[in-house]
Amino acid sequence: MAKFSPRAQARPAAPAAAPTVAHGTSTASTASTASTASDGSSGRAQPLALAAAGVTVILWASAFVSIRSAGEAYAPGALALGRLLTGSLVLVAILLIRREGLPPRAAWPGIVVSGLLWFGGYSVVLNWGEQLVDAGTASLVVNIAPLLMALLAFRLLGESLAPRLLTGMAVSFAGAVVVGLSMAGDGSTSVLGVVLCLVAAVAYAGGVVAQKPTLAYATPLQVTTYGALIGAVGCLPFGWQLVQDAAHAPLSATLNMVYLGVFPTALAFTTWAYALARTTASRMGATTYAVPAIVVLMAWLLLDEIPGALTLAGGVLCLTGVAVARSRPRRAKTQVAQDTAQGVSAK
């Protein structure tokens, strides 16, 4: 993976307008990118970005349940292909309605890498891993991804490793460990399953870091749509398996696969890209530590699975760590407020 310029990463929205126009992107794309630059500089987009990150986390938490259910009838590769095909259909339809067109040439390297690593590879490997280990173990191993993400972003994108970020990630990871151990089954853990979840975490982190600089040139919808399409192309070797599984799968499993494509893929990956364009990869990675806590809450509300005290304590730790990681020092908050006030007065 090529090393990206820290300057290009630090404020992805600022250079977006020039390369987008130069490569002939549609008017809608250019307008969206320009809007991003304006919102990012004034800070007005921060509440929207936080809301988008929240939507992503909730939908990705629900994906763990759906994968476990659909995985009983669909092979790992077939489930990944079905999910990506469904998500791609929805995303392409929205892209055509919005007339955003093709991303500029500068965006394609990151789209291809994130499409193959994250949309395709991560989906297949995680589906396989969840067939061999329980959900608690899977979520515990996959949750090393934000740590890898922070290290890769520091090395390749020049992002800083702020003390608050590292402290928050450490607290959240401790919470993920507690949740994972409390949810783990009594049976023996599959070594292969753990290795697969580890590979999924690496693919996840690599895909996010590749996607971040791409958002300087293309809109979140473009990055998500073409990433999903590339991931689907990479999973085409599982096409015949998908046809065979679909012919024998119960309706509930197929509906879970469709749900995975429409919501945790088409919607959640788009809201993720929107939020990622407005913050750092490290900070967004820390946000995903809220997933285990939300999984516990969903199981409690939807499946009537009452969590134990240890599970609840782990969930609280996860959310506390996310809050610390996403917080800013008082001096930084004051500076943002001053910059916003200056921008308003200048207008």
Dump pLDDT digits (tens) for 309-341: 776 777 677 767 767 766 666 554 445 444 444
Q: Mean of the pLDDT values across residues 12-23?
A: 38
Residue with tokens 């928050």: 168
Q: Is the predicted pLDDT of residue 68 greater than 50, yes or no?
A: yes
Share of the chain above pLDDT 90, in %: 39
Yes or no: say if 149 and 182 are a contact pair by the CB < 8 Å rule: no
Cα distance between residue 324 and residue 339, in whole Å = 23
Residue with tokens 């395709």: 120
- Identify the pLDDT of residue 187: 47
- Pick the closest to residue 166 from 321, 331, 330, 9 (CA basis): 321
Helix (H) or strand (E) holding 43: none
Dump pLDDT digits (tens) for 143-176: 777 777 877 888 888 777 777 777 877 777 777 7
Local structure of residue 117 (DSSP, 8 states): I
To the question of pTM greater than 0.85 for the whole model, the response is: no
